[in-house]
Amino acid sequence: MALSRADYHAILHALAPPGRALPRDPETLWQRLLEARAGAFARLDGRADTLLEEADPRTAVDLLPDWERVTGLPDPCVTGEQTASERRDAVVRVLTGTGGASRSYFEGLAADLGYDVTVEDYTAHTVGSDVAEPLRGIDWRWAWTVRGPEQSVRYFDVDGTVDEALATWGNERLECVISRLKPAHTLVLFAYGEQ
């Protein structure tokens, strides 16, 4: 917890040597100078306190651009403005993400981006396959589908700022991020409204 201006004034006052050159009367020039210096120390101490919050990307405000620079953000898939909360979430996602190629990884990635999707993968039809299964060739084993709602809406977050939109629509960001992070040998398909 940061010390207050009064705390610093008392400390400076106690450190001053006794004597007539440095009077103790609150209306003197010396005491007003101590009061001004105490204010500067209190501001500096307060900023040092907030630096602890800035060291955590989940609570960063002033150092958020530095966190983004370190993590290689903004994501090339992001078009337009992002909310402060979305920017912080992206930094945390890059720092804590381990990557993956499973259904749960891509469903979790979409959830982190604000989308509710399911992932469906396919198998090729073989001699031992059930006759009720669709006839798919061997290339279908490399295809998978991301299924989501027809309209995806991301709403304003309480951590946002006053100049942010109350809601945004669209799936372009989801498609770009998943297409960029999918395994290179696979083909991803997107289907909306069929969830």
d(CA 97, CA 99): 6
User: What pLDDT was estimated at residue 192?
Assistant: 86
Specify whether the CB–CB gap between 148 and 115 falls below 8 A: yes
User: What pLDDT was estimated at residue 131?
Assistant: 74
The whole-chain average pLDDT of the chain stands at 85
User: What pLDDT was estimated at residue 71?
Assistant: 93
User: What pLDDT was estimated at residue 37?
Assistant: 93
* Of the candidate ranges 11-25, 88-102, 117-131, the one whose mean pLDDT is the lowest: 117-131
- In single-letter form, the type of residue at position 195 comes to Q
d(CA 143, CA 124): 10
173 pLDDT band, cuts 50/70/90, is confident
How far is CA 60 from its chain centroid?
A: 9
104-145, pLDDT tens digit by residue? 999 999 988 888 899 998 887 777 777 777 777 788 889 999
User: What pLDDT was estimated at residue 1?
Assistant: 72
* More confident: 183 or 139: 183
179: left (phi over 0), alpha (psi -120 to 50) or beta: alpha
Instruction: With a cut of 90, say whether residue 41 has pLDDT above it.
Output: yes
170 pLDDT band, cuts 50/70/90, is low
